[in-house]
Structure 1
Amino acid sequence: MANWGFLGAGSIAASSLAPAVHAADGPRLHAVAATDARRARALDPARVYTRYQELLDDPDVDIVYVALHNSAHRPWVERALRAGKHVLCEKPLGLTAAEVGAMTATARATGRLLVEAAWNRWHPRTRDLESMITRGAIGTVHTVTARFDGLAPAPGNYRLDPALGGGALYDVGYYAVAAALAAFGWRSPGVVRAEQDHWHPGSADSATRFLLDFPGRGTAEIGCSLIGGMSETFTTTGTDGSLTLTPPAFCAGSAPSTLTTGTLSTDTLTPADDGRHRHYPPQDPYRLMVESVDAAAHGDTAAHLVPLAQSLLIAATLDSVRSRLARRAA
C-alpha cells in the first residue's frame, strides 16, 4: 500500500483525485498540503500541511500528486522527484516541450516514476480507440476532427491568466491534441494555420482553432474554447472506415459512453459490440489511473501508464501552435 500526498487541494483534487484514492484498492491518502488548511482537511487525509515542502519532507509519502496551477508544475515536480517521491502531475505536465524534457531528465536521474495525469487516457473507451487504430481497424488514418468547448472560468481563476499557464489551449485543447496525435500514430505534425480569441487584451486565450498537418498522411482540424458551452466531439476517418467518440468525447466517466464505428472488417469487432456501436458503462478513469500509478510504483511493469514520450510530443505540438500564433500576430 502506497501513501499518497497531494500538493494542492483545488477543484480537481477535491472532486476527482481524492475520491479516487479513497476508493482505490491499495492507495492511501496520507497527506495534503495547501495554503488553506481547511480545504486540505476537506479531502480527508491522515495529515495536513500548509507548506508544500513539509509534505515533500514527510518520509512516509511515497507518491506525490501535483495539483497546482500549470506554471507551478515543473518546479514542484522536480522538487518531489529529488525528494525521492514518485510523481503524478496534472496535465499539461509542462508549459513547453523544454519543461517536459527537463522533468523527464530529472525522473531518469532520480530513478523515480513520473506520469502525466491525462486521466481520460485510462478510460477503456479511449484505450480501445487507440488500440483499434493501431491494429489498422479503419485502415490508414487521414482525417481527424476534434473539438472541446468547456465552461467559462470563474473570475480570478488561474485559467484566465497567461502567466499561470491559463487558457483554452492548455486546458481543454490538450485533450483534442492528444487524441489527434494518437490517431496518427504519435507522429509529429506541422501547424498549417492557427487563430485565437481572448477574453480581453492581455488575458489567456478564450478560444483557439488550428489545423495540424501530418506529412504524407492527412490533417487534424482542432478547436477548443472556454466560453461557456460544454461540447466534446471527436471523429477520425481512415481508408477503411471511421471511429467516433459519442459526446462527451474526452471526459466520459460519470455516464455511459459509446464508440461508434464506420465500415470495419468483422474481425475487429468483439461479442460485446452492438453492430456499429461499442458500449461502455459508467467508469471512474481517475481511480483506474491512481491504481495503475500505484501498481507501477510498486514495480508492476504491466501497469498502464501514459508514456513520457507522448507527453513530450503533446507539449511540442502545443509549442508549434503557439509559435504559429505568434508569427500571425507579428
Structure 2
Amino acid sequence: MANWGFLGAGSIARSSLAPAVRAAKGAVLHAVASSSHVRAQALRPERAYPSYDDLLRDPDVDIVYIALHNSAHIEWTRRALRAGKHVLCEKPLGLSAAEVDAMTRTAREAGRLLIEAAWNRWHPRTRDLETMIDGGSIGAVQTVTARFDGLEPTADNYRLNPNLGGGALYDVGYYAVSAALAAFGWNTPQVVWAKQEQWHPASADSASDFLLEFPCRGTAQIHCALIGRMAEELVVTGTSGTLSLSSPAFCAGATSVRLFTGSDSDWQARSYPALDSYRLMVDAMDAAVEGRGHPYLVSPQQSRLIAATIDAVREALPSHSLPDTEPPKQNRRRG
C-alpha cells in the first residue's frame, strides 16, 4: 500500500489526482500540504499540512505528487527526492532540459523514482497509436499535424505569467510536442521556424506556431493556443497510410474516442470507452514503487527530449520574443 502526499491543492489535484488516488487499489491519499487549509481539507486527506516542508517530514508519505505552478517544479521535486520520497510531478517536468537533468540527477542520487505526470500517455489509445507507428502500420512517418487550442486563463491564473512558467507552449503545446516526438520515434528535431503571440507585451505566450524537421524523416507542424476556443487534432501520415485521432486528440478520458487508420480507399476505426487515465497513471506509479510487475512509465529520456525541443522552439524565436516577420508562406498553417 502506497501513501500519497500532495504538494498543492489546486484544480488538477482537486478534479483529477485526488479522485484517481481514492479510486486506485492500494493507494491512500495520506496528506495534502497547502497554504489554504480549506483547499487541503477539501481533498479529504488523512492529514493536512500548512507547509510543504511539513509534509516532506512525514515519514509515512511514500509518493509525493507535485501540483504546483511550473516554475516551482524543480525546487520542490528535488526537495521531495532528497527527503526520501518518490515523485510524480506535473508536466512539464522542468522548464528546460537543464532543469530536467538536475531533477533526474537528484532522483538517481536519492535512489528514488521520478516520473512526469503526462497523464494522457497512459490512455490505451495513446499507447496503441505509438505501438502501431513503431510497428510500421503506416510505413515510415513523413508528416505530423498537431493542434491544441485551449480555454483562455482567468486574470489571476499563473499561465499568464512567464516568470511562473506560463504560456500556451508549456501548457497545451507540451501535448502536441510529445505526440510529434513519439510519431518520429523520439528522435531529435530541428526547429525550422517559430512564432508566438501574447495576451499583452509582458505576458507569456497566448499562442505558439512552429515547424519541426526530423532530418531524413519528415516534419511536424504544431499549433497551440490558450485563446478561448477548444480544438484538439492529431494526424500522422506515413508512406503507406495515415493515423488520426478523434477529438479530443490529447485529453481523452471523460468521453469515448476513436483512432482512425488507413488510406483514401480503406479506413478503419478503433473505439475506446470513457476511462480515467489519471487512475491508470496512479496505478502504474503504485506498482512501480511497490515492485509489482512491469508497469508502463514515461521515461526520463523522453521527458528530457520534450524539454529540449521546447528549449529549441524558444531559442528559434527572433530575439526570444515575438517575431518581427511571418514564417515562410509555404510553411504557414494554423494547425
> TM-score if structure 2 supplies the norm length?
0.94
**Distance of 1:92 and 1:105 partners within structure 2:** 17
What residue number does 2:135 align with? 135
- Alignment partner, residue 292 of structure 2: 300
Q: Using the alignment, how far apart are the partners of 2:319 and 2:253 within structure 1?
A: 38
Q: In 2, Cα distance between the equivalents of 1:327 and 1:186?
A: 28
Runs of 4+ in structure 1 off by over 3 angstroms are 326-330
Q: Which amino acid aligns with 2:296?
A: H
Residue of structure 2 in register with 1:309 after alignment? 301
Whichever residue aligns with residue 43 of structure 1, its letter is L
The match for 1:285 among 277, 282, 288 is: 277
1:50 and 2:50 are equivalent in the alignment? yes
Counterpart of 2:331?
Answer: none
Instruction: Give unpaired runs (5+ residues) of structure 1.
Output: 267-274
Moved more, 298-307 or 176-185: 298-307
What's the offset of the Cα at 1:326? 4.2
Instruction: Give distance in 2, aligned partners of 1:301 and 1:179.
Output: 26
| Counterpart amino acid of residue 280 in structure 2 | L
| Aligned pairs for 1:28-67 within 5 A | 28-67=28-67
Partner Cα distance (2:211, 2:43) in 1: 41
Partners of 1:104 and 1:261 in 2: CA distance: 36
AA partner of residue 289 (structure 1): M
Report the residue type matching 1:131 in the other structure: T
Q: Is 1:251 paired with 2:243?
A: no
Distance 2:13 2:286 in 1: 17
**1:38 positional shift:** 0.2
Verify the 8 A CA contact 2:149 2:232 in the aligned structure 1. yes
TM-fit CA distance, 1:301: 5.2
Q: Tell me the distance in 2 between the aligned counterparts of 1:263 and 1:108.
A: 45
Q: Is 1:124 aligned with 2:115?
A: no
* Partner of residue 269, structure 1: none
CA pair 328-12 structure 1, distance change in 2 beyond 3 A = closer
Aligned-partner Cα distance in 2 for 1:218–1:158: 35
Secondary structure, counterpart of 2:131 in structure 1: helix
Instruction: Give secondary structure in 1 for the equivalent of 2:172.
Output: helix
- 1:212 aligned partner, one-letter code: L
> Who is 1:272 aligned against?
none
* CA deviation map 1:121-142 (0-9, x unaligned): 0000000000000111111001
SS at match of 1:28: strand
Query: Counterparts of 2:38 and 2:140 in 1: how far apart (Å)?
Result: 52
* Deviation sequence 1:112-159 (CA, Å, 0-9, x none): 000000000000000000000011111100100000000000111000
Is residue 71 of structure 2 the alignment partner of residue 71 of structure 1?
A: yes
Q: Percent identity?
A: 66
Give the alignment's TM-score, normalised by structure 1. 0.96
The equivalences for 1:159-170 within 5 A come to 159-170=159-170
How many residues are treated as equivalent by the alignment? Answer: 321
Amino acid at match of 2:282: V
Give secondary structure in 2 for the equivalent of 1:171: coil
Question: How far 1:299 sits from its partner (Å)?
Answer: 1.4
Instruction: Summarize deviations over 1:255-311 as a string: whole Å, max 9, x none.
Output: 0000001239x9xxxxxxxx6000000010000000000100011351110001000
Q: Tell me, what secondary structure is at the counterpart of 1:276?
A: strand
What root-mean-square deviation, in Å, do the aligned CA atoms of Structure 1 and Structure 2 show?
1.3
* Partner residue of 1:325 out of 317, 321, 331: 317
Amino acid in the other structure paired with 2:285 = V
Secondary structure, counterpart of 2:197 in structure 1: strand
Alignment partner, residue 329 of structure 2: none
Shift of 1:328: 6.5
Question: SS at 2:206's partner residue?
Answer: strand
1:211 matched to 2:211? The reply is yes
User: Is 1:199 the equivalent of 2:191?
Assistant: no
CA positional deviation for 1:9 = 0.2
- What is residue 25 of structure 1 aligned with on the other side? 25
- Deviation, 1:320, is 0.1
Q: CA deviation at 1:195?
A: 0.5
Q: SS in structure 1 opposite 2:263? A: coil
Q: Does the 8 A contact of 2:314 with 2:320 survive in 1? A: no
Gaps of 5+ in 2: 324-335
The aligned amino acid for 1:242 is T
The structural deviation recorded for 1:327 is 3.8
Which residue does 1:181 correspond to in 2? 181
SS at match of 2:170: helix
Whole-Å separation in 1 of the counterparts to 2:320 and 2:13: 37
Q: Distance in 1 between the 2:131 and 2:28 partners? A: 31
Write the letter of the residue equivalent to 2:33.
Answer: A
SS in 2 for 1:168: coil
Structure 2 Cα separation of the partners of residues 144 and 300 of structure 1: 36
Distance in 1, matches of 2:127 and 2:26, equals 23
